[in-house]
Amino acid sequence: MKTIELNSIKPDIFSESDVSGSEIWLKNICFKKENTYLIFSESGKGKSSLFDFIYCRRSDYSGEILFDGKNAKTLSHAEKQELRSNHISLVFQGFRLFEELTAIENIEIKNRLTNHKTKRQIEEMLEQMGISAKIDTPLSLLSFGQKQRVAIIRSLCQPFDFLLLDETFSHLDETNYTIACTLIASEVKSQNAALLVASLGETYKFNYNHKIQL
């Protein structure tokens, strides 16, 4: 997949005044592979909603989202599953991890679906992110920041054309988010993918082609 087009989309819960000044809502914009985008705004402007729309988790919006010209609202369940398995990866703000499973079990759930990474590659990412000692620890016993790192690694265990990060580094110190950004940037480059970063304003460690106010 090469492009994601947003044509005059607006969340149903927003009024016209709620989206005034936005460079995305009710505008026409095209996200393209091999580009890096910072999407920034204050809280409550719909960053998570935007990513949910693109990920086809929600459809409570007006306007069109087009994947290589195909309307998201016309996709079948199977087509949506294929989109999420091979074209779009998302690190949710709320992680959507399984608390009763261990760190490695949460990662392997994704990797078994895609067979994208070897066991050794996953172990290397865990080591790089400083949580290799927590590999067999249930998520319920990990800190918020450790869970964030598990969610990041899980998102990289699939092929993707677009990687979406929803305020992904909120509980990481500068050292750990620098390590995470390096790992993410390397994986994005290796897949010739696009990176979309939702932020309250922090730019983190990425080189952006585009900075867009939501």
Residue 34 predicted with pLDDT over 90? yes
> What is the identity of the amino acid at 24?
I
CA distances from 153 to 13, 137, 171, 192, 199 (A): 33, 15, 15, 18, 19
Which of 7, 113, 142, 162 lies closest to 70, judged by CA? 7
Residue 48 predicted with pLDDT over 90? yes
- Cβ proximity of 123 and 132 under 8 Å: yes
Q: Residue 9's pLDDT is what? A: 97
Please give the structure tokens belonging to residue 70: 């195909």
- Cβ proximity of 129 and 94 under 8 Å: no
Q: Residue 94's pLDDT is what? A: 82
CA 205 distance to own-chain centroid: 16
Q: Residue 202's pLDDT is what? A: 85
**Residue 33 domain boundaries:** 3-213
Backbone phi and psi for residue 110, each to the nearest 5 degrees, phi listed first = -70, -45
Count up the domains in the chain and report the number.
Answer: 1
How much is the average pLDDT of 80-87? 96
Residue 141 predicted with pLDDT over 90? yes
Residue 189 predicted with pLDDT over 90? yes
What percentage of the chain reaches a pLDDT higher than 90? 90
Residue 192 predicted with pLDDT over 90? yes
What is the number of other CB atoms lying within 10 angstroms of the CB of residue 199? Answer: 21
Residues 138 and 104: their CA atoms lie apart, in Å, by: 9
How much is the average pLDDT of 38-64? 96
Write down the pTM of the prediction. Answer: 0.95
CATH for 47: 3.40.50.300
pLDDT, mean over the chain = 95
